[in-house]
Chains A and B, each alone.
Chain A
Amino acid sequence: EVQLVESGGGLVQPGGSLRLSCAASGFTFSSYDMHWIRQPTGKGLEWVSGISTAGEIYYRGSVKGRFTISRENAKNSLYLQMNSLRAGDTAFYYCVRGGDTGYDYWGQGTLVTVSS
């Protein structure tokens, strides 16, 4: 069974940092593109960043230079280092697998709250 479990969310002050982790199981992690997608409470979905099996990396414009996505295939893990956090980054952050049919598996999400 495919499972994606996020951790690392919490309350942080503006300008602070957090590192999200995603532990993957039930599939060959190295064979799939992986993504972070966020959803502010009560609002729509926003793609944040993605990393391909070959290590190609993409970010949405508003997080470029502040967020860093990485993966560690040996540990079946995906990460998102978030620096210089802003109130607008407050959201549930989902770890998502990119399969042939789209975003086919999602984690349960971890809440990031940026507030003083």
Chain B
Amino acid sequence: QSVLTQPPSASGTPGQRVTISCSGSSSNIGSKYVYWYQQLPGTAPKVLIYNNDQRPSGVPDRFSGSKSGTSASLAISGLRSEDDADYYCSAWDDSLSGWVFGGGTKLTVL
């Protein structure tokens, strides 16, 4: 299983707000920046959030990130059909001396 824990699935209807959680420990999320990636079917992942809550240029402000203690969250507001994708959280882990990912959350827009 993954070092970071995400729910395997989430869903929402267009226009709704959805939140995806990512749980870790003091050696990763608790002391390091969290990153979020979106992977559309058949494509390579794309960074959505860096440094816990920062959006790269070009990422809509419907996407937001937050962190508290050893957990992080990705929120998507104004859900759209094109948000139907897999979402992964990631962080550096001091104990493992390596990067770790969550298992991924499949978001379905109903």
Which residues of A are in contact with B by a Cβ distance under 8 Å? Answer: 35, 44-47, 50, 58-61, 94, 100-104, 106-109
A58 to B93, CA, bound (A): 12
Q: What total of chain B residues lie within 8 Å of the partner, measured CB to CB?
A: 23
Q: Which of A47, A59, A94 contacts B101 (CB 8 A)?
A: A47
A18 to B106, CA, bound (A): 32
- Report chain A residues within 8 Å CB of B86: 44
Contact B99 A47 (CB under 8 A): yes
Q: Which residue of A lies closest to B88 (CB)?
A: A45
B63 interface residue (CB < 8 Å to A): no
Contact B47 A103 (CB under 8 A): yes
- Report chain B residues within 8 Å CB of A109: 44
Q: Which residue of B lies closest to A100 (CB)?
A: B50
How many Å from the CB of B65 to the closest CB on chain A?
A: 11
Which residues of B are in contact with A by a Cβ distance under 8 Å? Answer: 2, 35, 37, 39, 44-47, 50, 54, 56, 86, 88, 90, 96-104
A contacts with B: majority SS: strand
Contact B98 A45 (CB under 8 A): no
Contact A102 B101 (CB under 8 A): no
How many Å from the CB of B30 to the closest CB on chain A?
A: 19
Q: Known contacts A46-B101, A58-B97: does B50 contact A107 (CB below 8 Å)? A: no
Q: Which residue of A lies closest to B8 (CB)?
A: A44
Q: Which of A35, A44, A59, A103 contacts B103 (CB 8 A)?
A: A44
How many Å from the CB of A113 to the closest CB on chain B?
A: 18
- Report chain B residues within 8 Å CB of A104: 47, 56
Contact A47 B100 (CB under 8 A): yes
How many Å from the CB of A72 to the closest CB on chain B?
A: 23
- Report chain B residues within 8 Å CB of A101: 47, 50, 54, 56
How many Å from the CB of B100 to the closest CB on chain A?
A: 7
